[in-house]
Amino acid sequence: MNDRPDEEPRSLASLLEQEGVTLDVVVVGNGVAPAHVPDGVRTVELPDNVGIPEGRNVGAANVKGDLLFFFDNDAVLPARDVLARLAAELTGDLALAYVQPRIADPVTGVTLRRWVPRLRSADATRPGIVTVMAEGVVMVRRSAFDRAGAWPGAFRLFHEGVDLAWRLWDRGYRGLYRPETVVHHPATHPARHAEFYRLTARNRVWLARRNLPAPLIPLSLATWVALTAGRVRGRDAWRATLTGLREGLSAYPGARSPMSWRTVIRLIRAGRPPIF
């Protein structure tokens, strides 16, 4: 969106310096003509802001390669072998659909809990199989991405990584967290986005309605509401949350495709039942 004139050049420079991989890079302008783009990098200009997930879909459709790396433009790859290390994990295990590095603030070194793709997130340095992802910095196998139907574009922002990960698992794949490979990203709070509370609530409902077997939908939403009650503070935040819940229940983005009960069991065994 051309709103990071300092961060984006650093981000792209760290990407183009990667070694051991062949890159095809595209920058998607979400409602703008991309600026701050170095020579040799292609751009796609969208006439309107279609949201982050659909913007990623546009990017994926405009690059070649067996592996897709989705990269926020305020992140930096601190070493030149980050992509090669992630790619090695995917090429070495065909059952893996995606691999996520550890995301850390470049100044403090802190890894936020929401960046750790598992329930027990206090130890951000513990690797292993994971069932969700931090979608802003992740590498995905293209064939698996296409089979799963890409990112849920209608979400616009928030929970799209859970949606994609669940659909990848439902097609027999797994995800991997590799914290020894680090990517830098500023430790910001998602509530800086004006629509954080509304879209989080709406998309949580859509996530359940799109992906869960019918008996698990009310259980998932009840669990989320109970957890949210302990987190949301302030009248405006609650008003936006309730608005999002109503939108999620009254509208629906596309066809329902619930995961199998076999997938539910696989997710539970992997440490994260799909109601959390």
Q: At what angle do helices 160-170 and 261-269 cross, to 10 degrees?
A: 110
Q: Which long-range contacts (CB under 8 A, 24 or more apart) does 216-223 make?
A: 216/264, 216/274, 216/275, 219/275, 220/274, 220/275, 223/275, 223/276
Residue 109: which residues within 8 A CB-CB, separation 6 or more?
Answer: none
Residue 122's Cβ-count burial label (10 Å; 0-12, 13-18, 19+) is exposed
pTM equals 0.95
CATH homologous superfamily for 7-188?
Answer: Spore Coat Polysaccharide Biosynthesis Protein SpsA; Chain A (3.90.550.10)
Per-run averaged pLDDT (10 residues), the chain, 276 residues: 93 98 97 93 96 97 97 97 98 97 97 93 95 97 98 95 98 98 92 82 97 97 91 88 95 88 98 93
Query: Which residues of the chain are in CATH 3.90.550.10 domains?
Result: 7-188
* Cα(90)–Cα(67) distance, integer angstroms: 8
